[in-house]
């Protein structure tokens, strides 16, 4: 009776790749002369997240670029792979940016892993790859796409595009720079104030404390929970007109005029402040006044 020995196991193709984007345009056939398209390869049959398994075939470029080499038309290292879902097979450049190793420590005919407490079968592809832990730098020339939550404990510096479909949680400052300038998203805080009495026809200020705020920071006022920000007032025969607000060190100050004939008590209600700081020679920093 035939058996599988340890020797045959070790000589079985062991690499698998997971696709980071649809790969129909990067999946090739080879006729001995040139690369071509794989019949049946479309965005539907070659989607993002598909696992490709090596089949043992290799295509090598010539050692001397001036010669044709053993595989005409081949200019870079290619590996043969097959898709166990669509049953398509062909060649890929394993070092291209849309392919990343899934597992290199099992033969390719062993099913993909899934959580040990899950009832999913191998086609569910629960396990998509190993996590990454590093105390060094992560360099990426393309976009960073996060399907979950991104936690940044320090400063986040973005000089390219960042697409985030989940939540972005930043414990430090989030800095977006361009050339010599930078925009720092500092705080998104609730605004609250003490009661301020303003007599009829007079104006007064309502101050809301905001920690670490500078007088030249940009502040955007929003509501909370789908409700607009508003000025709460009590008393009789009083009115309210918002002249605007200014940004001072450590506070956002609203200027209110009582347009009524009676005294009123005023405070800020249901408001949040998004605080943004600009820096760099390309940005003029001035106090924000909304009239």
Contact 95, 77 (CB under 8 A): yes
DSSP alpha helices (H): ranges in 21-129?
none
Which pLDDT belongs to residue 207?
Answer: 93
Question: Token pair for residue 126?
Answer: 């629960």
Which pLDDT belongs to residue 236?
Answer: 87
Between 218 and 105, name the one with better pLDDT. 218
Mean pLDDT for 95-104 is: 82
Which pLDDT belongs to residue 58?
Answer: 93
Range from 32-41, 52-61, 228-237 carrying the lowest mean pLDDT:
228-237
Those residues whose C-beta lies under 8 Å from the C-beta of residue 187, and which sit 6 or more positions away, are 210, 211, 212, 213, 273, 274, 275
Which pLDDT belongs to residue 226?
Answer: 74
For residue range 75-84, what is the model confidence (pLDDT) as tens digits? 899 999 999 9
Kindly report the length of the chain: 291
Contact 250, 213 (CB under 8 A): yes
Mean pLDDT for 113-132 is: 54
Range from 85-99, 117-131, 175-189, 223-237 carrying the lowest mean pLDDT:
117-131
Mean pLDDT for 139-149 is: 74
Which pLDDT belongs to residue 204?
Answer: 94
Mean pLDDT for 156-173 is: 70
| Pairwise CA distance, residues 253 & 257, whole Å | 13
Residue 36 pLDDT class (50, 70, 90 cuts)? very high
Q: Domain residue spans in the chain?
A: 6-124, 144-178, 188-279
Which pLDDT belongs to residue 133?
Answer: 67
Between 179 and 243, name the one with better pLDDT. 243
Percent of the chain with pLDDT over 90: 29
On the question of pLDDT at 114 being above 50, the answer is yes
On the question of pLDDT at 229 being above 90, the answer is no
Average pLDDT of every residue of the chain = 79
Percent of the chain with pLDDT over 70: 75
Using CA atoms, how far residue 26 sits from 4, 37, 128, 159, 260, in Å, is 34, 9, 20, 28, 72
Residue 266 pLDDT class (50, 70, 90 cuts)? very high
Those residues whose C-beta lies under 8 Å from the C-beta of residue 110, and which sit 6 or more positions away, are none
Query: Torsion angle, CA of 187/190/194/199, rounded to 10 degrees?
Result: 100
On the question of pLDDT at 174 being above 70, the answer is no
On the question of pLDDT at 16 being above 80, the answer is yes
Helix (H, G, I), strand (E, B) or coil at 208: strand
Which pLDDT belongs to residue 147?
Answer: 73
Mean pLDDT for 163-170 is: 72
Asked whether the whole model's pTM tops 0.75, one would answer: no
Q: Which of 16-25, 119-128, 164-173 has the highest mean pLDDT?
A: 16-25
Between 2 and 225, name the one with better pLDDT. 225
């Amino acid at each position: 009776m035939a058996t599988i020995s340890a020797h045959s196991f070790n000589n079985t193709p062991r690499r698998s790749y997971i696709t980071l984007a649809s790969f129909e345009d990067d999946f090739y056939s080879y006729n001995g002369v040139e690369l071509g398209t794989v019949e049946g390869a479309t965005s539907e049959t070659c989607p993002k997240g598909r696992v490709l398994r090596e089949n043992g075939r290799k295509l090598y470029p010539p050692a001397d670029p001036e010669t044709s080499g053993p595989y005409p038309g081949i200019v870079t290292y290619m590996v043969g792979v097959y898709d166990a879902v669509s049953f398509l097979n062909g060649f890929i450049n394993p070092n291209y940016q849309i392919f990343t190793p899934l597992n290199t420590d099992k033969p390719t005919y062993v099913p993909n892993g899934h959580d040990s407490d899950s009832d999913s079968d191998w086609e569910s592809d629960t396990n998509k790859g190993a996590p990454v832990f590093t105390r060094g730098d992560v360099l990426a020339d393309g976009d960073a796409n996060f399907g979950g939550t991104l936690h940044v404990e320090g400063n986040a510096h973005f000089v390219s595009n960042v697409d985030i479909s989940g939540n972005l949680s930043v414990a430090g400052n989030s800095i977006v720079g361009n050339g010599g300038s930078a925009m720092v998203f500092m705080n998104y805080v609730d605004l609250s104030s003490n009661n301020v009495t303003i007599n009829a026809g007079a104006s007064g200020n309502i101050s809301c404390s905001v920690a670490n705020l500078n007088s030249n920071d940009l502040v955007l006022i929003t509501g909370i929970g789908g409700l607009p920000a508003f000025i709460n007032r009590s008393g009789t025969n009083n009115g309210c007109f918002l002249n605007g607000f200014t940004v001072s060190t450590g506070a956002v100050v609203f200027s209110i005029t009582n347009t009524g004939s009676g005294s009123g008590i005023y405070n800020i209600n249901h408001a949040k402040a998004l605080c943004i700081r600009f820096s760099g020679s390309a940005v003029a920093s001035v106090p924000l006044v909304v009239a």
